[in-house]
Amino acid sequence: MKVVHDYPPLYAEIAAAFPIKHRSVIFAWGDAIYNPHSLVLNDALRAHEDVHRMQHESYEGGPEAWWRRYIADKAFRLDQEVPAHAAEYMVHAVLADSRKRRRYLLSQIARKLSSATYGPMVGQRKALELLRKELKMEDKK
Ligand SMILES: [Zn+2]
């Protein structure tokens, strides 16, 4: 994906809906990553945004229609973010050297998925459950 060092289209609406002002957040818009604060983008973040790229490509009306629904519809937002976070986790997980480390990484991703940045959409425990289901992990306690 190409990287644009600017705010995305609809930024005013996005910033009005989520607590992201003055925060380092990146935005997928079709095949572009909008990166207004010029963050260093690691492979995990790129994998996350790449899932959104595919979602935008398959969504009727493209990224603009996707974003409008994403802002307005919490269940849709969660549905879109679970696979994006799962992809982000997978990139970290292949580099992890132990099961303990992977478990920690998954809990961090679940925490991010349940954070206020996204609305919030879901509690951390439920976020973990959804990620495990998405990743087809067995439910070991
Ligand atoms: Zn996302």
Residues 55 and 92 in one domain: no
Are 66 and 103 contained in the same domain? no
- In a shared domain, residues 95 and 136: yes
Cα dihedral sign for 90, 139, 131, 106?
negative
Residues 59 and 81 in one domain: no
What is d(CA 120, CA 18) in angstroms, rounded to the nearest whole number? 9
Total tally of structural domains belonging to the chain? 2
Structural domain containing residue 63 = 1-42+49-72
Distance 96 CA to ligand 1 centre (A): 22
Looking at the chain, the whole-number percentage of residues with pLDDT higher than 70 is 98
| Whether the predicted pLDDT of 141 surpasses 80 | no
In this model, does residue 140 exceed pLDDT 70? Answer: no
Q: How far apart are the CA of 85 and the centre of ligand 1, in A?
A: 7
Q: Are residues 86 and 61 in the same domain?
A: no
Q: CB neighbours of 136 closer than 8 A, spacing ≥ 6?
A: none
Query: What is the value of pTM for the model shown?
Result: 0.95
CA distance 90 to 101: 13
Ligand 1 centre from 83 Cα, in Å?
9
The mean per-residue pLDDT over the stretch 60-89 comes to: 98
CA of 107 to the centre of ligand 1 (A): 17
Q: Both 102 and 127 in a single domain?
A: yes
Instruction: Sheet containing 32-34: give its strands across.
Output: 2-4, 32-34, 27-29
C-beta atoms surrounding 1 within 10 Å: 15
In terms of domains, do 58 and 105 share one?
Answer: no
Among residues 103, 52, 66, the alpha carbon closest in space to that of 111 is found at 103
26 Cα to the center of ligand 1, angstroms: 9
Q: What is the mean pLDDT of residues 7-20?
A: 95
Say whether both 81 and 120 belong to one domain: yes
